[in-house]
């Protein structure tokens, strides 16, 4: 087969979300299937680290597709031309887009439908594009892969699609996330929190991540328990972060909140492993990778009830109502007060995390690709 792949999210030094998913899958799939030819389609100059094997042909096809008008041009004009030129048998698109102007079978990955559930958290131009085109993409794609049963159910309900068309291809966490030693935990705490224990949030500073309610929940925890524990927020400043930073200036427990900004994976794994618990109350996620990263590290998790994260963590986490600061505060108090329960969560989390790995993910995606061709 000639397998063309949308690799525009394989960005050097900025490998998040879609990019990391396709990176981990493709480096395994291309190595495992040398009998097939892969055409990697970039929209900007690429780094050679992403050309994993000799059976890959890399292409740079402009213009850079970074807003709706250029998305339309790139997917419906430029991509079909490449597929014709290289006689592609399958086109893989991992970012929730596909081409509406080709007859080549397409395997499209949709991580979630957050734009439907929380439209205020997305730019209007992007929202219009997704509302108009996502139903078309879902109809056009031969196979849809998504990262959880939660997301599969959501896609079926929103678009009345045949369930047989959707495959579940669970995501995974980076192998670097592992338990850390007592000594390393102390190093992290000394660097970020003056030696104090800390709750941890990991992710972008963005309205969808529900950080305002996390602060309110933390306030309830601090007021009730008078603890010296800190709250560490790790992540880059994303869209609409200004109001959160303004609110933080007048926050009663401002001195107990540490914003680290972006940190690299090696340091993040150390910080995660040193946390007293991860508190990840995002309103909506297709998978929730930080939850799995924490479990791999042997760190307890408090996350969103009724979400994809509950599917991933099962009995290994505590669940709070993301819209209720009292619920969030209560779960923080529970994990802090109940050391026996905390130890049980750690054990269950490590066991649960072993069910997810990139080898399984890559094999599931390969099965979807083969299903697409057949």
- Tell me if 2-172+357-373 shares its fold with 182-353: yes
Chain position carrying tokens 């599969």: 152
Domain ranges of the chain: 2-172+357-373, 182-353
Q: Quick one: which of 107, 167, 169 has its CA closest to 360?
A: 169
Where b means 16+ CB within 10 Å and e means fewer, 203-234 reads: bbbbbbbbbebbbbbbbbbbeeeeeebbbbbb
Into which CATH architecture does domain 2-172+357-373 fall? 3-Layer(aba) Sandwich (3.40)
Question: Looking at domain 182-353, what is its CATH homologous superfamily?
Answer: Glycogen Phosphorylase B; (3.40.50.2000)
Q: Quick one: which of 254, 255, 278 has its CA closest to 199?
A: 278
Q: What is the pLDDT of residue 131?
A: 96
Q: What is the pLDDT of residue 118?
A: 86
Q: Quick one: which of 326, 324, 322 has its CA closest to 303?
A: 322
Q: What is the pLDDT of residue 210?
A: 86
Q: What is the pLDDT of residue 66?
A: 87
- Terminal Cα distance for the chain, rounded: 11
Q: Quick one: which of 150, 260, 156, 148 has its CA closest to 198?
A: 260
Statement: the pTM of the whole predicted model exceeds 0.75 = yes
Residues in the chain: 374
Q: At what angle do helices 289-296 and 265-274 cross, to 10 degrees?
A: 70
pLDDT tens per residue, range 69-89: 999 999 999 999 999 999 999
Weakly modelled stretches of the chain, pLDDT under 70: 208, 238-241, 374
Q: What is the pLDDT of residue 249?
A: 85
Rounded Cα–Cα distance for residues 52 and 222 (Å):
49
């Amino acid at each position: 087969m000639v397998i063309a792949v949308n690799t525009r999210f394989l960005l050097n030094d900025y490998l998040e979300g879609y990019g990391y998913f396709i990176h981990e899958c493709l480096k395994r799939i291309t190595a495992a299937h040398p009998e097939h030819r892969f055409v990697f389609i970039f929209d900007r100059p690429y780094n050679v680290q992403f050309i994993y094997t000799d059976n890959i042909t890399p292409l740079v096809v402009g213009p850079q597709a970074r807003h709706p008008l250029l998305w339309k041009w790139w997917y419906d004009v430029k991509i079909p031309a490449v597929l014709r030129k290289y006689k592609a048998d399958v086109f893989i698109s991992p970012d929730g887009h596909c081409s509406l102007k080709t007859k080549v079978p397409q395997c499209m990955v949709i991580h979630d439908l957050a734009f439907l559930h929380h439209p205020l958290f997305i730019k209007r131009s992007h929202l219009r594009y997704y509302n108009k085109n996502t139903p078309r993409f879902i109809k056009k794609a031969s196979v849809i892969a998504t990262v959880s049963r939660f997301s599969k159910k959501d896609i079926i309900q929103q678009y009345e699609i045949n369930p047989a068309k959707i495959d579940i291809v669970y995501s995974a966490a980076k192998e670097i996330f592992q338990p850390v030693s007592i000594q390393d935990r102390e190093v992290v705490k000394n660097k970020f929190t003056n030696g104090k224990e800390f709750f941890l949030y990991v992710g972008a500073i963005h309205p969808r991540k529900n950080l305002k309610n996390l602060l309110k929940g933390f306030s309830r925890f601090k007021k009730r328990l008078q603890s010296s524990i800190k709250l560490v927020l790790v992540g880059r400043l994303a869209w609409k972060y200004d109001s959160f930073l303004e609110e933080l200036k007048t926050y009663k427990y401002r001195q107990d909140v540490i914003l680290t900004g972006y940190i690299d994976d090696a340091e993040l794994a150390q910080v995660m492993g040193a946390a007293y618990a991860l508190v990840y109350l995002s309103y909506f996620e297709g998978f929730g990778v930080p939850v799995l990263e924490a479990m791999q590290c042997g760190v307890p998790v408090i996350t969103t009830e009724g979400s994809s994260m509950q599917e991933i963590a099962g009995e290994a986490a505590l669940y709070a109502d993301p819209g209720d600061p009292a619920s969030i505060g209560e779960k923080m108090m529970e994990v802090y007060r109940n050391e026996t329960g905390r130890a049980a969560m750690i054990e269950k989390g490590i066991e649960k995390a072993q069910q997810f790995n990139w080898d399984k993910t890559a094999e599931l995606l390969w099965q979807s690709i083969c299903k697409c061709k057949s």
